[in-house]
Amino acid sequence: MSSIYLTDRSSLFDRLYSIAPVWLQNVGISVYGILWRQQRFGGNFPKLVAQFQERERFSFNEWREYQTRQLQALLQHANRTIRYYRELFNSLGLQSRSLEYFTPEDLPNLPLLEKETIRSNPDKFLNQEVDRRRLLIDYTSGTTGTPLPVLRSTLTNRATSAAYEARIRRWAGVNYRMSRAMIGGRIVIPPTRAKPPFWRYNLAERQLYLSAFHISPANTSNYVAALNFFRPKYLVGYASAHYFLARNAEEQGLQLYRPQAILTSSDKLTPEMRQLLQRVYGCQVFDGYSGVENCCLASECEHHRMHLSPDVGIVELVDSDGRPTPPGEMGEIVATGLLNFDQPLIRYRTGDYAILSPEPCPCGRQMPVLEELVGRLEDIVIGQDGREVIRFQGIFLGLPNVREAQIIQKTLKYFQVRLVVNAGFSEDEKRILYQRFVERLGPINLEFQLVDQIERTERGKFRAVVSHVPRAQRTSCT
């Protein structure tokens, strides 16, 4: 992560970092960590955390009132200071007077906001009253197209960090002051580097940063030794990376210390992955969801139900025509962010899909519960009848010789399965897999490819399913 006014310094930092010896890299990361820590946890951060915690006691009606007030403030501000929204509201005949009475139920009267609209004219989305050199910038990691710049102030950054602290860390029984180990998208070690160590240490945050790109059976003992040496209080980062590391450690009989919690995000955490992580580390796993855009947040409470945070964003789940989907049915997450007034995102299409639960949570919080976080459309296989969206967790269950697998859907009927397997992998297992595919999808063409490794994305993520069936073909069937 970097900020605009740190841009030059941070690219210089990245260049110096890449040629520095390991000890100096650790010092560099620590200095950078101190600067970044102040950005997030300084100023009114503790007060903001307390406010997020207090709001958890809100009744349904109090939440609605809160969201209405925040939305009205956001829309009036956008009308005053953001060119795109001023033009939009004008074209819809919405006067500033009517924005004062706007409610969350009125949101469907506004158009959905596509990433492309922002990408093609990012300046139109920026607060004209603020010096943009004072804003921090991040980029979304979309699988297609150029990344989207997301700008925000230090205050927004702190509010976002406070939401994360209150709803993700505290719910899991940990906090930002504790030491942690992270496996994430930042390249701390060049992916081509073959020699250990595969981690760096940020002294300022007592953060062990492990590379997502080097996890393999051969490297596992180096990772395990680092974790057992630093003994971070909790683990954070990609679900798949933590899973692969823990599975290798278990297979090799390597003992791991016991952290207090594991906080996963960014890719799909299956029940199988959760069980293995809990078994290997002897602690609970809490899954979470938020994007770089920070216009919504979902996190697991102590009952491991995933709640939306209504004070981070107003979330609508919609079908392909933009109509709301009822609880129990899958819809795209469309979010109106309530924290960032410098680049407001109103009815923003995240491209992620989820299902709302009709059941309240036994924890008593009146915050909406997601039954399931499905993920991105390109991560979902679609059946030949075109209607049934089929998810593939479980298809490789009970096949211990399959180490890693990636399903690639080329067309409605043609699939490739890329497998990294143990020596004992047999024709029988191929047959079982073929059968399971046919059970779920009917007669299809299935091609097996045995490979040495499955490439991670640029940010080190593992993609279990890649569907090339275009959006139009899906939506015309639903």
Q: Should residue 463 be labelled a site residue for Zn ion when binding is judged by CB under 5 A?
A: no
d(CA 197, CA 216): 13
Cα separations in angstroms, 203 against 25, 180, 196, 242, 399: 11, 11, 20, 22, 41
Q: What is the nearest approach in angstroms of Zn ion to the Cβ of residue 169?
A: 16
Min CB(302)–Zn ion separation in Å: 7
Rounded Cα distance, 104 and 106, in Å: 5
Binding of Zn ion by 360 (CB under 5 A): no
Closest CB to Zn ion among residues 75, 301: 301
Taking the C-alpha atoms of residue 137 and residue 139, their distance in angstroms, rounded to an integer, is 7
Q: Which of 301, 338, 380, 469 binds Zn ion (CB under 5 A)?
A: 301
Q: Taking contact as CB under 5 A, which single stretch among the options 93-101, 140-148, 157-165, 302-310 is the one that binds Zn ion?
A: 302-310
CB of 274 to Zn ion, least distance (A): 17
Span interacting with Zn ion, options 55-63, 317-325, 354-362, 396-404, rule CB under 5 A? 354-362
Minimum CB separation from Zn ion for residue 75, in Å?
30
Helix spans in 92-164 (H): 96-99, 115-120, 154-164
* Whether 141 contacts 147, CB under 8 Å: yes
What pairs with residue 280 in β-bridges?
A: none
Q: Find the binding residues for Zn ion in span 20-39 (CB under 5 A).
A: none
458 Cβ partners below 8 Å, 6+ apart?
Answer: 141
DSSP 252-275: TT------SEEEEESS---HHHHH
Contact 152, 127 (CB under 8 A): no
- CB 370 → Zn ion: shortest distance, Å? 11
371 near Zn ion, judged by CB under 5 A: no
Our CB check for Zn ion shows the closer of 301 and 433 to be 301
> Strand, coil or helix: what is 178?
coil
Number of residues that bind Zn ion (CB under 5 A): 5
Using the rule CB under 5 A, is 305 a contact of Zn ion?
yes
Is the CB of 172 or the CB of 301 nearer to Zn ion? 301
Peptide bond into 197 cis (omega under 30): yes
Q: Which is nearer to Zn ion, 111 or 364 (CB)?
A: 364
Of residues 361, 382, 402, 407, which one binds Zn ion by CB under 5 A?
361
Among the candidate windows 135-143, 288-296, 299-307, 315-323, which touches Zn ion by CB under 5 A?
Answer: 299-307
**Assigned token pair, 189:** 């070690």
Stretch that binds Zn ion, among 90-98, 215-223, 305-313, 393-401 (CB under 5 A): 305-313
CB nearer to Zn ion: pick between 29 and 301: 301
Buried b (16+ CB within 10 A) or exposed e, 46-83: eebbeebeebbebeeeebbeebbebbbebbbbbbebbe
Positions of E strands within 422-476: 445-450, 465-467
Q: Which stretch binds Zn ion (CB under 5 A): 127-135, 262-270, 276-284, 301-309?
A: 301-309
Q: Does 363 bind Zn ion (CB under 5 A)?
A: yes
Stretch that binds Zn ion, among 315-323, 356-364, 429-437, 470-478 (CB under 5 A): 356-364
User: CA-to-CA distance for 154 and 171, rounded, in angstroms?
Assistant: 24
Q: Which of 142, 63, 138 is nearest to 103 (CA)?
A: 63
- The distance of closest approach from Cβ of residue 68 to Zn ion in the complex, given in angstroms and rounded to an integer, is 23
Nearer to Zn ion, 361 or 412 (CB): 361
Q: Which element (helix H / strand E) includes 199?
A: strand 199-202
Taking CB under 5 A as the binding criterion, the range among 60-68, 232-240, 298-306, 392-400 that sits at the site for Zn ion is 298-306
Contacts with Zn ion, residue ranges (CB under 5 A): 301, 303, 305, 361, 363
